[in-house]
């Protein structure tokens, strides 16, 4: 692939498994925290594990908030947020106190709440997605495919039109979202075996 895929390295993710998965999909990703390199990318991946507040603080400290908003506003460069990276796309997060997010997809990040004895928090392990609307990022991925999750908070979009797929846990939460060129997955595709590789490949081929 000639397109330069930039994975944002802001100190909130173990990047090794993502690197291996992207290489299996034929990409040679650049891992960077340099705003100039990110602005020149043809595709951007924002991974992440940890807290919303710390994630936003790190992006801000590295001077990456404005470049990401500028790229998103152009509606041409595909952006994929993974796990915490998806949550940071939101307007606000509320881990203890409210923090402003990137506000690339309107919505808020809130804590999962158990509905029954099966609803364990954090939500860790394999669970299925229920596809709500067709989208290229899920091409050739069947409804009810399992992916690997690790999280205690979830993204609640303002508009249901941005929800591509949901997952049944603590009720139902949005597990794949999209607004224009901006995508998010609550699960970790890089830890989700062949379905995860297919999703990453679909993103690379957008």
Query: How far apart are the C-alpha atoms of 34 and 192, rounded to whole Å?
Result: 29
Mark whether 190 is an active-site residue.
Answer: yes
Candidate list 25, 95, 151, 190, residue with the active-site label: 190
Residue 206 CB coordination number (10 Å): 15
Alpha carbon distance 99, 115 (integer Å): 26
Token pair listed for 167:
């997952």
Taking the CB of residue 65, how many other CB atoms lie within 10 A of it?
18
123 is catalytic: no
Query: What kind and span of H or E run contains 7?
Result: strand 5-8
95 is catalytic: no
- The number of helix segments (H) and strand segments (E) in the chain equals 6, 14
Choice among 23, 40, 83, 95 that is catalytic: 83
DSSP string, 23-67: HHTT--PEEE--HHHHHT-SEEEE---S-HHHHHHHHHHTT-HHH
* Active site residue ranges: 83, 188, 190
């Amino acid at each position: 692939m000639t397109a330069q895929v930039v994975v944002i390295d802001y100190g909130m993710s173990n990047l090794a498994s993502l690197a291996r998965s992207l290489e299996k999909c034929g990409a040679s990703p650049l891992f960077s925290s340099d705003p100039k390199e990110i602005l020149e990318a043809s595709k951007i991946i924002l991974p992440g594990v940890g807290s919303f507040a710390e994630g936003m603080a790190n992006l801000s400290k590295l001077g990456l908030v404005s470049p990401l908003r500028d790229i998103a506003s152009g509606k041409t460069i595909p952006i994929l947020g993974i796990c915490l990276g998806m949550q940071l796309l939101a307007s606000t997060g509320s881990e203890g106190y409210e923090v402003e997010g990137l506000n690339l997809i309107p919505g808020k990040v809130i804590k999962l709440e158990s509905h029954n004895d099966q609803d364990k928090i954090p939500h860790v392990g394999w669970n299925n997605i229920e596809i709500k609307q067709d989208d290229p990022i899920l091409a050739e991925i069947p409804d009810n495919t399992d992916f690997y999750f690790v999280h205690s908070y979830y993204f609640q979009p303002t508009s249901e039109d941005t929800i591509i797929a949901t997952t049944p846990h603590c009720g139902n939460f949005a597990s794949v979202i999209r607004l224009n060129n901006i995508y998010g997955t609550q699960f970790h595709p890089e830890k989700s075996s062949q379905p995860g590789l297919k999703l990453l490949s679909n993103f690379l081929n957008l």
